[in-house]
Structure 1
């Protein structure tokens, strides 16, 4: 998430509602601090789904997953740059495979967007 307040909104939703349960914005707002509540109010006033809520939800999930993959890719690159080729050979192989899998997944996602 881009801000801690956005993260708090998400965590509050997760704690109050089941995945298939409809969100009550008033109940949610009552559970948030002032900063997060202001963000929620802005979102509810400016974002209109126009009967595309499933599509918007899927796009949000895809964006979160892509962001997480990018974060993990950067983390793996940093770790691999620090490891010693001789001492950490097994770890290098394991992390390199994970990095390649992430890069394949990201590349596949990019092709699907075209």
Structure 2
């Protein structure tokens, strides 16, 4: 493609994708897009940090209660006698960490 002023042109001097394309306009649009993505990325990192803190808080709280726990992804494995307390602790940590009440279920008895 040849550059003609600030516009790209396709074969035989026609526009490359059926329209005239300004390099300056593309650069401005990309800068705007990158600023927006930067803002979203910052928010994403913040959410990921909060999400990582909730399970850590759960593990620490259960340890303080003397409950043996095995973390598995977004859940924990505890003895049957501790499932109610573990559920209570998980809901409490989720609410404290996010400000949002959670919904939890027991996968296996």
Same fold (TM over 0.5): no
Greater RCO, CA 8 A, separation 6+: 1
Greater percentage in helix: 1
TM-score category, normalised to shorter length = 0.3 to 0.5
Greater Rg over alpha carbons, structure: 2
Q: What is the TM-score when the length of structure 1 is the normalising length?
A: 0.32
Q: What is the TM-score when the length of structure 2 is the normalising length?
A: 0.34
Greater percentage in strand: 2
